[in-house]
Amino acid sequence: MNTQKVMRLIVGCLVIVAMVKIFFHPSSSKDTSVKTHQIIQGGNFWAKQHIPQLNLVHNEEDPVKKEHAGNTEVQPEEKETIQSNQEELEPEIPDDTPMDPLKIVHLDLKGAAPKVKYLEEIFPLLSTLGANGILLEYEDMFPYEGELSILKSSFAYSPEDIEKIKSLAKQHKLELIPLVQVFGHLEFVLKHEKFFKLREVETYPNSLNPQAQGSMDLVQDMLTQVMKKHPEAKWFHIGADEVRGLGESEDSKRWLEANSGDMGKLFFNHVTAVGRFMTKLKRGIKLILWDDMFRKLSSDTIKESGLQDLASPMIWKYIPNMDVKEIGNYISKYEQAGFKGVWFASAFKGASGIDQKWTPISHHLKNHLQWQKVIQSMPQYKSVRFQGIALTGWQRYEHHTVLCELLPVAIPSLAVCLQTLKYGSFDTEAEKEVQHLLGCQVELSNNECKGASFPGSDVYEMVKKLNDNLESSVKKIMQSYHVKGSFSPYHRKRSFANPRNLAFFKDGLKKLMDEWDSFLLTFRKNMEAIFYPDTLEEWLEENVNEHIERLHEMVVDVERIIKLNGQPKVDPSKMR
């Protein structure tokens, strides 16, 4: 009897153990069902939602079109290079791209690139303000190597700097998206004599000749080097906006003659070739490009190119009175062309004037309010997904133009724009949050943020003072009664003046010069903490030196001429 009880007990235990194993064993199969769009409550695109993933990998073994210049097909040597690069860049990117639309802050490094130390300070702020990504437009700040080393700036980021930036982005949950221009806006490349032969217009450095032997080699080398530094990137922006002069080179003219003058195809052949190269270089990478070059083309023309299987368009518009209906027409066209996703691009700085020094917050707020209307309209587009918005912060209109607003100067504008996207408008709640995070009260009517305490706020305050007071203070003293009447350029040129008249403004002039000199010593120190020497030199020369030098020259002339005790005029031709 005891034996039977023992046997029953053993059998019972085995059954329980088996049931426990079955119950707790993890499933080996994945749910591969396609997730469908959910209705977005209240028009809020930043709410949690399940949206189908966009697979940007081009599944066909479609070689680069033969119409593309010389080296269009992937040659055996290139295949080996690509395979080698893939091996170095593996493992493949996991398909875990964030489901919610991203809010990405664009950092334009083609001028006034911030030091990594400053990025260390602002990345946490950007994350707190609601950003969850960074669009990093390297231009000449990337540490290109080998034959491309000529492209990098004297102050380009080092490989260690890039690793630090990546680490900071990851730490603060900011999706890092590299941007490398592959067609237009290649001034930083084509300005070098070595690459003159690759220009679309011989005398202009703007755009690449897509038919020239060596053009694809150049682009592939650039992309490969950047991708090697960003093997974990889920998204990659290939630019391709404003391809100035396309079709003007002799190579392109011959191609157009042989292809019915199809400019759209000329453009698409190059960007799709780049797209296929990238998807072979890194399986799973999701590509983005600016949309302006195909806005006027039909959906059928776009679809025929195959671009919709390789990339997502980023529709950009930066003006305050943006036409929402026009943007809707673009979205409809791109949906019909077969794009599964679409991005938007607004602006928080660098889009209100080629030499703008002080960011007009209201200008950029209005732009974002218009984009908010577009975002709220997205549920009507059933087969295209809104993937995110890039808040662009342009530092130059192009490589050869002057600096726009410095990044610290635009932080209040960026905060206002991000909070507007978060709340749907810049209401009282959004305003309070900006005040809490920046430590300043935004005054839209005066276009300023008073009492700022955010990283770089010292530069913000000092640029405001320079912008508001430097030129006006110099003009004021130059327009004073005694300077206008007794110390004109004519008098100074001939060392001819009454010391009594000079005495009326001499001390005030010297005091003004000393005050600005002292101010600028502090300004230099604060700028050097954020920017490299070339930025400081350029900004001062463009915005400060003219006025300060005028003061210094005036003081020197006053002190020299006052000692002459009102002597007769000196013949300028006899002066040294």
pLDDT digits (tens, 9 = 90+) for 493-549: 999 999 999 999 999 999 999 999 999 999 999 999 999 999 999 999 999 999 999
Q: Which of 382, 287, 336, 306 is nearest to 56 (CA)?
A: 287
Q: Cβ distance 266 to 215 under 8 Å?
A: no
Higher pLDDT, 8 or 46: 8
Q: Cβ distance 339 to 385 under 8 Å?
A: no
**Is there a catalytic annotation at residue 242?**
yes
Separation between Cα atoms, residue 531 and residue 121, nearest integer Å:
13
Q: Does position 327 have pLDDT exceeding 70, yes or no?
A: yes
Q: What percent of the chain has pLDDT over 70?
A: 83
Separation between Cα atoms, residue 343 and residue 24, nearest integer Å:
42
Active-site residue, selected from the candidate residues 242, 248, 304, 431: 242
Cα-based distances in Å from 156 to 190, 221, 285, 287:
18, 18, 25, 25
What is the pTM (predicted TM-score) of this model?
Answer: 0.83
Query: In the CATH hierarchy, which fold is given to the domain comprising 76-245+256-437?
Result: TIM Barrel (3.20.20)
Give me the long-range contacts of 369-372 (CB less than 8 A, separation at least 24): 369/420, 369/425, 369/426, 370/317, 370/320, 370/321, 370/322, 370/324, 371/317, 371/322, 371/344, 371/346, 371/421, 372/420, 372/421, 372/424, 372/425
Q: Which of 186, 248, 241, 183 is nearest to 210 (CA)?
A: 183
pLDDT digits (tens, 9 = 90+) for 411-434: 999 999 999 999 999 999 999 999
pLDDT digits (tens, 9 = 90+) for 136-182: 999 999 999 999 999 999 999 999 999 999 999 999 999 999 999 99
pLDDT digits (tens, 9 = 90+) for 333-375: 999 999 999 999 999 999 999 999 999 999 999 999 999 999 9
Q: Which pLDDT score is estimated for 386?
A: 98
Q: Does position 376 have pLDDT exceeding 50, yes or no?
A: yes
Q: Does position 71 have pLDDT exceeding 50, yes or no?
A: no
Parse the chain into domains and list their residue ranges: 76-245+256-437, 461-574
Average model confidence (pLDDT) for the chain?
87
